[in-house]
Amino acid sequence: MTEHVPPPYLDFHPATRRLRLDPHEPAFFQNPYEAYAWLHTQDGAFFWEDFGFWCFGGYDDVNRLLRDRKFGRQNPAGIPDSRGVGEDRSHLAAFDAVEANSMLELEPPVHTRLRTLVNRAFVSRQVERLRPRVEALANELVDRFEPGQPVDLLPAFAAPLPITIIAEMLGVPVEMGPQLLDWSHEMVAMYMHGRNRNTEDRANAAAREFSDFLRSYAAERRKQPGDDLLSLLLSAQEDGQKLNEDELVSSTILLLNAGHEATVHQAGNAVRALLSQDGDVSRFFTTPEATAATVEECLRFDAPLHMFTRYAYEEMDAGAGVSVKPGEQVGLLLGMANHDPRAFANPAAFEPQRPDQKNVSFGAGIHFCIGAPLARLELQVALKVLFDRLPNLQLAEEPRFRDTYHFHGLERLTVSF
């Protein structure tokens, strides 16, 4: 494929910059970087008809728009909504109630107050204290692998580690892990392209059950507070203000969902990327500095979140000659920005020591991922333990990605060791 010939599964009109590309096209979601590489030759901004809004994939545009306060997550027309507007939403009452108080979907001043209250548990110095626990848990999970038998690393390693850590941090029973995962998966499905009424009903039921559980558990914590994050959130104040119960529930659900969903996908994508490199994988983990650089390159090379949407708050030129009106959404393509040849030398190569490392996988601006320090630590520790313990680790079958473009992750990751 030359830069003048687009992949056969997309249709692009240069004069109008309108793109038709079904995100459920297997050739695309298995390898979106082929399409990204060609779209970068078209200046990286286009109207994606399948989503119905303008998208930006250039690194500079994405980085700038993430920080531009003339754009935000909160829908000027009402509840922030990446799941459709203008229809009867009575069947989504529980889901909308959670979203209405989620700091991810709010803007200042409410966002500032919520984030300040929650952030104290996620600063780097607090997270660093978890390193020994993460390392012990990673080793425990490897100990459970059956010798001589292939293992799917997603359910056996990548998923239980972050959900256990975030459950322990919050003071939620670890044995609730599988149920928490189920609720989270049902709710996150609302962000996927092509959802249907069944998706919405399941997400609403999950939101209701998740909220009821947390309200009940918070009541217990009020009577018997501990040193966990839920107790901290119950007692934390900012300028004399506390989280109300609805805010507490929404914040906890966000932390639980975000605390594992992206990390699971990133861990799987990282193992796949590392096992695809020539030579001894252990060279990527020789020092703490090398390990940290390897994780940053994994985040850039194959990010777990490929699209982050924002609303325009005024009529303006969004860049690249694209005009938007108040209330219109734009899509910021994080995975595409991380492969912009104008920002990264040889972007298709896996190079942990690259001097131009500046990925946008955690976002930027006021909505920069609050859990980034925790995710980085978990990935650094888990990947090093995995390859230290299993130096002969190799793919037992070719991994395939799920049909979930928005959240880019594998169906399974079967390895032998």
Point out which residues pair with 56 in neighbouring strands: 45, 332
pLDDT of residue 323: 94
Question: Residue 78 — pLDDT band, cuts 50, 70, 90?
Answer: low
Reported pTM: 0.91
pLDDT of residue 87: 65
- Is 187 within 8 Å of 97 (Cβ atoms)? no
Angle at 407 between CA 405 and CA 408, to 5 degrees: 70
- Is 79 within 8 Å of 49 (Cβ atoms)? no
Which pair of tokens denotes residue 44? 């990286």
pLDDT tens per residue, range 93-151? 999 999 888 888 888 888 888 898 888 777 777 889 999 999 999 999 999 999 989 99
Q: Is the pLDDT of residue 85 over 80?
A: no
pLDDT tens per residue, range 250-271? 988 988 887 677 899 999 999 9
**Choice among 89-93, 238-242, 293-297 with the minimum mean pLDDT:** 238-242
Rounded distance, CA 82 to CA 307, Å?
11
Angle at 254 between CA 67 and CA 86, to 5 degrees: 75
Rounded distance, CA 267 to CA 360, Å?
17
Rounded distance, CA 171 to CA 151, Å?
30
Look at the block and give the residue holding tokens 């990446």.
Answer: 82
Return the exposure string of 46-67: e unless at least 16 CB atoms fall within 10 Å of the residue's CB, then b. Answer: bbbeebebbbbbbbebbbbbbe
- Is 100 within 8 Å of 250 (Cβ atoms)? yes
Look at the block and give the residue holding tokens 């912009």.
Answer: 340
Residue-level length of the chain: 417
Phi, psi of 14 (to 5 degrees): -55, -40
Question: Residue 194 — pLDDT band, cuts 50, 70, 90?
Answer: confident
Cα Rg for the chain, rounded, in angstroms? 21
Q: Is the pLDDT of residue 2 over 70?
A: no
* Alpha-carbon distances of 170 from 138, 212, 381, rounded to whole Å: 19, 16, 20
pLDDT of residue 1: 44
Look at the block and give the residue holding tokens 């994988």.
Answer: 281
CATH topology of domain 11-416: Cytochrome p450 (1.10.630)
- Is 185 within 8 Å of 202 (Cβ atoms)? no
Q: Any residues with CB less than 8 A from the CB of 177 and at least 6 apart, and which?
A: 160, 163, 164, 167
pLDDT of residue 379: 98
